[in-house]
Every structure is written in C-alpha cells, then in structure tokens.
Chain A
Amino acid sequence: MSGRLATGGRLIDRSRALEFTFDGRRLTGFAGDTLAAALLGAGEGLVGRSFKYHRPRGIVAYGPEEPNALLGIGRAGRFEPNARATQVDLSDGLEAESQNRWPSLAFDVGTLNGLAARVLPAGFYYKTFIHPRPFWKHLFEPVIRRAAGLGRAPRHRDDDTYEQVHAHVDVLVVGGGVAGLAAALAAGRAGARVMVVEQSAHWGGRAPVDGDPVDGRAPDQWLGQTLAALEEMENVRLIPRCAAVGVYDHGFVLAAERLTDHDPGAPGPRQRLWRIRAGRVVLAAGAIERPLAFPGNDLPGVMLASAVRDYLVNHAVFPGDRTVVVTNNDDAYHTALALVAAGLRVPAILDARAAPNGLLADAARAAGIRVLAGHGIAGVAGRQRVAGVKVCAVAGEGAVVEEIACEAVAMSGGWSPAVHLWSHCGGRVAWDADRAMFRPDPAHPPRGADGTAMVIPAGAANGRLSPAAALAEGTAAGTAAATGQDRIDGSDDPTGTDIAPVWMMPQGAGPALRAKAFLDFQNDVKVADVDLAAREGFESVEHTKRYTTLGMATDQGKLSNINGLAVLSQALHKDIPAVGTTTFRPPYVPVTLGTLAGEARGDLFQPVRATPMLGWHVEREAYMEPVGLWRRPYCYPAPGETHEVAVAREVNAVRQGVGILDASTLGKILVQGLDAGRFLDMLYTGAMSTLPVGRCRYGLMCSEQGFLIDDGVVARLSDDAWLCHTTTGGADRIHAHMEDWLQTEWWDWRVFTLNLTEQYAQVAVAGPRARDVLETLSGDIDLTAALPHMHWTHGTLAGIPARIFRISFSGELGFEVAVPAARGMDLWQALLRAGQGVGITPYGTEALHVLRAEKGFIMIGDETDGTVTPRDLGLEGMISKKKADFLGKRGMERSHLAAPDRWRLVGLRAADDSVLPEGAYVLDAGRTENGQRATQGRVTSTYWSPTLKRGIALALLRHGPDRMGQSVDVSRIGAAPIRATVVAPCQYDPDGGRMHG
C-alpha cells in the first residue's frame, strides 16, 4: 500500500496539513501536494474504473499524461468532472469523487464487462452500430449507457468567472524546465519580450527530482539563481500553472492558466485563456515516459518509473514498501536508486536488455539491487492492487521463472518527446531509431508568415534527454528566437541511446497474454485489440486509432501513441516510420468550457443591437424575439392575453384602424455617385437607374447563380443618390455584397456606399387610419394625393425632420417614417399620442408576418432558402427584360432554373380551414429511389389569419400556378396527411385597393 515517509518531500509544507475528502472519506495531505500525491500519500490506490471494462485503476503518472485519475471535483456550481488528480493542486476542504463506477468504487458491477471482454473487441462500437440494429437499441445501449462514459456533466450554472487576455511577445517559451528557463534567460538577455508558460505549479522540470547537476551546480541551486535572474528582467514574464494547449497559424498560441483553483475563495477569475501572438515559440515541453506493455500492467500499483520518483522526491510519497522496477532503458535505474536511498525496498530490476551496463547499472548493483537482465513480467498478481509479479524471460513466450512479492511496479518503456505543440500546425516528426522515439524533424517545421520555422524545439522536447543538453539547447534556442533565427544546431548528447526497443513483454506472448497487456489505459485498448485491427485490414494508423479508440479522448496519444503504433507495425511487419504516427490535435491538455467561453456568457454572450425604441418595448413587456443580433417585439400581449390573442388583436388593428411597427432594423444603404444608377442596375433584377427622384421601387437581388438573396424598397433621393432598404438580417451582408462588386470587379465606377441602418429610426404606420394619425401631427408634409403609393417625401413631422415613404408591407394604406435615430423615441411617442383617439396599436413581427402572408408577399428566409429564383416566386415581372446584364441574369438562364417543373409559389387552404404544419411537405404519389415518400412541394409560411378567420399558407409546389383549385395532400408528423386546395398566394384584397386608397 502506498504511503508517506516521515521526512522529506521538497515541495510539501508539513506544517500545513490540508483536509480533503475522496468519495466522502476524510483524508489529509500537505500544502504543496497535488490531489494525486495526497491520495497516494493517504494510501488510496484505487481511484477509478476504466472506460470500457470497468477494471480497477490507480494513479500511473505525475503530470497531464495521467490516464486514470480523472475525478469529479467540488460540488454544485463549482463541480468539475474529469479533473486530473495530477493537475489539481490540493486545497483545504477539497471534495473529490471517483467516476465511472456503480454502485461503488470497490465493488463495481461493470467488471462483468471484463468477463464479457470477448464480446467487446476492437471495433465493438462500429460493429454493433451497423447490425443488427435492434440489438443495439434494446440490448447494448441501455447497458453501456449505464456503465460507460467518463464523469457526469455539471448540472448547475458555473459559479466561477473566467477571462481571456491577449499577449504579444517576441519569444514564447513553453515549459519551465532547464531548457525553457535557459531559453528565457538567453532571450531575455538579448532584449526580447519573453513569456514563459509552465503547466505545473513549479519550475525546473525533472532536474530537481533527478538530481543531476546543471551547469556544474546542484539543480535546486541553479534553479534558484536562474529564477532570480529572470525575475529581475522587466522584459520577461513567468507564468506558472499555465498550459500551452495549441499552436496555430502564424505564431498564434492558446494557453490556459489556472488562477485560483489552488486557492479557492481568492478573488478574481478562476481560469484565464491567453491568446498569444509570438514571433517565435521555443518548445521546451519536455518528454513523457512510456509505459511497457506486459500482462496485468493496468493493475493499481503499476506506475511510470519517473512518476514514482517524482512522488517520492517531491512529496515523500511512495507507492509501496517493495517496488519492482521493469525497464528497457537506463533511466528507470534512477527510480530504483531513489527508492533505496529513501529506505524502501527494490526486490529486483527487471531489465529487458540482455546486458545492461554503464554507470547507472553499476550503481544499482553497488546499492545491492538485484538486476535481472533479459527479463520481464509475464503477469501481475493481485485483484485490486499489485501483490507480486511473475518474472519471465523477455525473449520467450512467458514461462514464469520466478514470482516476486511486491506492492508496486515502476515501469519505463523509454521517453517520448512532447512533440504535440510542434505538430499542431504542420510540423512533422522523424523517427530516431537510436533513441526509439519520434522527435521534431527540423526539415519540416511549422512555418510562420515569413516561411521560417515558428517553433524551435529544445531539450527533451527535441529528444535530447540530459540536463546538459537541455541547458545547451535551451540557451541556443532562446538566443536564436530572440535574434531572428529559426533553428539551432542540436546537441548530439547520447542519453537515451541505451534503450532496447521492447514493445511487448514477453516478446513471444500468445493471445492470452496479449489480451491482458494494455496500451491505452484510458480507453481500455490492449495489444490484442491492435493485433485484431491489423488482422481485419486496418493498415493505416489513423484508421486503427479510430477502430480501436487508441489514443483518443483526453489522452491524445500522450501515453499510448508510440507503444500502439509499435505493436501495429509489428503486426503489419513494417518499420515504425513506415507506419507513421497519428495526427496530434489541440488541445494538448483539456481546457474547461468556462475558459473557452471567457466573459462571453449571460448578458455578454453576444452584443445586442438596440433600436432607439427598444427600452419602450421592454418596459411595455413586449414578448421579444432575437432577429440576428437585434431584439424585436414579437407581439405586445395585454395583461392576461396569450400571444395568439395578442397577434390577432394587432392584425385586426392594422386592418381596421391603425398600427405602428418599429421598423428601425430594416437595412438602409445609401448608394451615391455618378455611376450609382448603373451599379444598382447590375445589383437588382429590375431597373433602378430609371426610377424618378421622389419615387420608390420594390427590388430583388440575386446571386450570380440566379437565386434570390434579398429584397426591399429602393427610393431615389436625388440625381445621384439612392436609398436601398434591405431585410433586417440582410443589411450587413448586402452592404458587403455591394462593396465586394464595387471594389473587386467595377472598381473604376464612381460609386460610394454607406450603411446607414443605425442612423435612422423607422416606424411603419399602417392601416386605414394611418393618414389621419400622421395629419394630426403638426407638420409641413402633404400626405394626400400628393403622395401616392410608392412615392416618398420629406419635411417636418412633430418638429422632427423626417422622410416619409408611402409603402406597404401589410396591404393597407401604409407609410414608413424615418427620422434621425436620436429622435426615434420622440417620433414613436408623438405617433402614439396622435393615434390615441383612433386606438393606434403597436404591432410586432408576428402580426407583420401574418399581414404580409395574407397578401401573399414573400419573406426572404421563409419563401427563399438560397435555391429559389424570382420566377419560382411568381416575380418574373420584377426581372428587367431590357437590361443586357445584371447579377444573376446568366445564372437564371441555366436549364434547370428555367425548367417548367420547378416548385413555384402558390397559396394553400386546408380543407378544414386549419393551420397547416410549418415545414410540411406536399406529398406526391410513390416513393423516391431511397424508399422515402415522394414529394412535390413544401409549405413555406403558415399562419392563422384573423382577417379571414381561417388558416392560410404559402407553399412552393411543382407546376404550382397551373394547378389552381386542385387538391393536394400535406404531410403531418404522427398523423394522416391533410387535404388542402391550391389557391392564389394573395388571399386578401387581391386588387390592392386598400393600399392605394
């Protein structure tokens, strides 16, 4: 059982004991512990259950590569699932719970999955998804949903706050070990703006734990002096607890900083996302030790050798009284020596190599440790934790030669440089056969805007594992990065070349043993699964990854990648470089959603565009709806009124009296210049250059493909100026569309455009009493016969300078009054006062929709979806036949757009006068080639018409206009189709007498 020594621990403060709970049990750790260190120190060997088989799992690693100890931390609004215990700083009162276990961690019915492992092979998900389907739905899914999956999602609103900040630096150093700090020192001395991010709470990386001298000094001494020198430099910024998670184009790097997680209750945001632009990135992210694949390697108590050393030196925490070390390289000997020096027992070092020699092996033997060369592990004894190992010859099939009792196993399969950030943005890796590792390929770096390498790897991240190499490469990289160079002459340090590339032990293991050797602890992928994938023909490493789930999820290949593809390459009888590696993708470590959202939540989720009258609508308790970034009144319910009733009342008011609508959101683009008319003739399907001053014309805009993209009324203001109204959602898009053509195609045309949408408040006054209301307001504008339909004028209304357009989207006598935005509220209130006597009624967007649908007027986005032409909508009359060219003219001539059997606009009336379902299809006889019911049209708008006292609908229907009076079937979900009659789109006042009145 793991525990804590009475003395030692370079990072802990024994005077500050911290209490915490794990699955409700009260435990104690020390300040300076991570949660993982405190759990091991408290003897908690079992921390979770594996994803698929629910096998017991313990802590394996010391850093972000930890695959098993994913815990739920905190409660209620501060609950976070899947936190890595190795990256959670212990704090007083911390609450942690294990995940993925039911009903309890120690007794878990999911281990039945282990018994059923035969039916959960590689590709299980894909195979059961395919067939037979009922098996999946009724048998597998309910069981798997219950038993599988990582932590549960938080149910509460996050009580914490988060922030995002930008940083611009010459040199970003990723990693605060020897290489990183040496790089920072060199770059800082060269005068560069430097930022150093270190994912852990501590500086120095592995050096203080391993103890090798750095630059002739004890590592802690070197570290203290170096940090002091860096802190004196104003151009260097050191940020601990900050993980660089992704490298993107042109030196853009995201880093996530944990601000108060270690100090709950401290003021300020919990976490911070750094958005960094770096001239050059020095990648000094170190290396990650690899596990060894041997049967039983997932049992709690089997740990990475370097992690054993880290817990021991930093926290005085040991994994057990007796630890067997198993390795294929020299580095694990450090662990054996450290354990013995701490008074713990190392019954044996099992070394896969035939003849381990050198200083470390000699030192181990001198310390009295038994070294078994050419040996490995054929099995691990124990049910929920290690009780002993079965020793075998590495070269054989696994015949057990000896059993050694122990509580822990420290394994080392060599080191993998943390190349993830190098690879995120295109950097390639090359296989270093001497060291059995992929390291950054200097010939294929991720490149910056100037074509040079934007990342310079140094030290262990570059595959150079000694402190001396880290110091030399770090210094060189820092200097290079600060002085405009993009590469260094790498060190030829031989550390790590002593490795024997043993990927599975024993090497001759049969299927039974291969099915017990895990490659990916988090995703429960075994050697046998990769073998199976290879047998089933998955030769690409990318396919194998997805088929077996090897290295997926939060692992992102940290622990499992190299071992997995080594096993695959053996199964395929290929070299490792020929198989290649999977793609590393951001984020390097998981980032909380809160950090990614930053301040963009609640009221700040997105900007709100407010019309000058928004406050009035809100005060009046209008029911608001989002329209793009605008908020518009949907309707204004009176006390006790449903929305339906309110909309009907508003529609009736417009039809019978007068209503007003806040139309300020309509796009208003001024197009002016000597060539403005010519330009608008190209943009609209109709002619705008011929529009007389003082007149308005309805216009359609098409894409080059001939599809309708926007519509609106254009008013000619003067000889050289037109005001183009667009839809509410179209203002920015159409303005950009105009600018695109003006700047990139017709740049010699003398035209200027200006998006004036927010400069004007606009109010639609509609209904038979509209003119009466406007005339009540003192003014100098003649609104009688002098202003016919589709004309505009200007003057003063209620003391406000105003433009009045006589236009109608309701089919009633209608005016739209535009005033400077600052006077919008004045106008709105003046209209309300003036209309008091005639019951003037504010109406919202829903009444607007009903009114226009009663008239058969189209709405962009309802009747159009990007595949609808003006002709489809019966708007051929709006297409100029005289103009030689306009945008979309050629597109509309394409044969399928001119085909007679296109779906075209009609009205539909349900046989029982009900409201047809939104989005319903008009059914056709027979079935499609996919076996689905054939269709011949669809409902595009459907409402209850208070005016006609029945349902009305617009639809696109094959040969529609030729089929007036015919009956069709309209689909309903969960009910029989409903009969409807094809009618004209305009179902109210077809002659238009009311709006001309």
Chain B
Amino acid sequence: MLRLTCPCCGVEADESELTQGGAAHLRREGPGSDEAAFEAYLFLRDNPKGPHLERWRHSYGCGKWFIAARDTVTMQVFGTYPAQGSGPPPDIAARMGGRA
C-alpha cells in the first residue's frame, strides 16, 4: 500500500485514502480532432515499467488531485506536485533522471 504526500494539504496519505487516476498530463482532444489523435487520447497509454507520472486524488482527505512521480517497479516516489501544470517541476524531473 503506497504512501504519498498530498501537496495540497501536506498529509502523508495511505493509498486507501487516495484514488488513482491514470496517466498524468494528457492533452485533451475535443471536437475536430482526427480519429488517431482521439483514439490516443481515450485509450493509448504508455504504461511504463519504471518512472511514471500519474494522477492521484486525495479523495478521503482534502479532495484535491495531484500528480505523483513514481517508479512502477521499485515504488520509489520522486515527488508529488499539484495537478495544475503541464509537467513535473525541475527538482522532481531531475530526481527522475529525465526518464519520464
């Protein structure tokens, strides 16, 4: 059971307090997008073995969504950061070694 620190309220939360929300930083494809782009947006995910940016919600806490940078094999957590952005902050990206 993972433990992740919610960047909004600061609580170090057990996984049972959290909801996983899949890959982070997807670009939404709306009306007008072509079939391939829309398919990729809906269904195609990298599912990497290793560092991964993923959405989590502190559902049974402050209710905020955040992003966790986590290694899917070793469970190492490189950091968590607010969901309002398009990528990890530099310090977390550095810890990931540019692997995501």
Contacts and interface: CB of A to CB of B under 8 A. Distances in A.
A889 interface: yes
B17 to A, nearest CB: 13
A743 B1 contact: no
Interface in A727-742: 736, 739-740
Contacts of A252: 1, 3, 14
A820 B14 CA distance: 35
Interface in B71-95: 71, 73-77, 83-84
A248 B38 CA distance: 37
A705 B42 contact: yes
Contacts of B2: 249-250, 449
B34 to A, nearest CB: 10
Interface in A296-331: none
A743 B64 CA distance: 7
B30 A449 contact: no
Contact of B63 (A704, A705, A739, A885): A739
B76 A739 contact: no
B91 to A, nearest CB: 15
Nearest to A248: B1
B88 to A, nearest CB: 15
Interface string B20-43: 010000001111110100100110
A744 interface: yes
Contacts of A449: 2-3, 75-77
Nearest to A887: B30
Contacts of B33: 890
Contact of B1 (A249, A447, A893): A249
Contacts of B63: 739
Nearest to A447: B74
A450 interface: yes
Contacts of A736: 19, 57, 59
Contacts of A249: 1-3, 15, 75
A705 B74 CA distance: 33
A912 to B, nearest CB: 45
A744 B55 contact: yes
A736 B77 CA distance: 25
A123 interface: no
Interface string B46-61: 0000000001010100
A704 B27 CA distance: 13
A250 B59 contact: no
Nearest to B75: A249
Given A249-B1, A450-B76, A744-B65, A884 B42 contact: no
Contacts of B75: 249-250, 425-426, 447-449
Contact of B73 (A426, A740, A744): A426
A704 B64 contact: no
A779 interface: no
17 contacts: A249-B2, A250-B3, A252-B14, A426-B73, A448-B76, A450-B77, A739-B57, A740-B65, A743-B83, A744-B55, A744-B83, A747-B83, A884-B31, A890-B31, A890-B33, A890-B38, A894-B35
Q: Which 6 A-B pairs have the closest CB atoms?
A: A451-B76, A447-B74, A747-B84, A252-B1, A744-B83, A743-B65
Interface of A: 248-252, 277, 425-426, 447-451, 704-705, 736, 739-740, 743-745, 747, 884-885, 889-891, 893-894
Given A740-B57, A744-B83, 16 more contacts: A249-B1, A249-B15, A252-B14, A426-B75, A448-B75, A449-B3, A449-B75, A450-B76, A740-B65, A743-B83, A885-B30, A885-B31, A889-B31, A890-B33, A890-B38, A891-B38
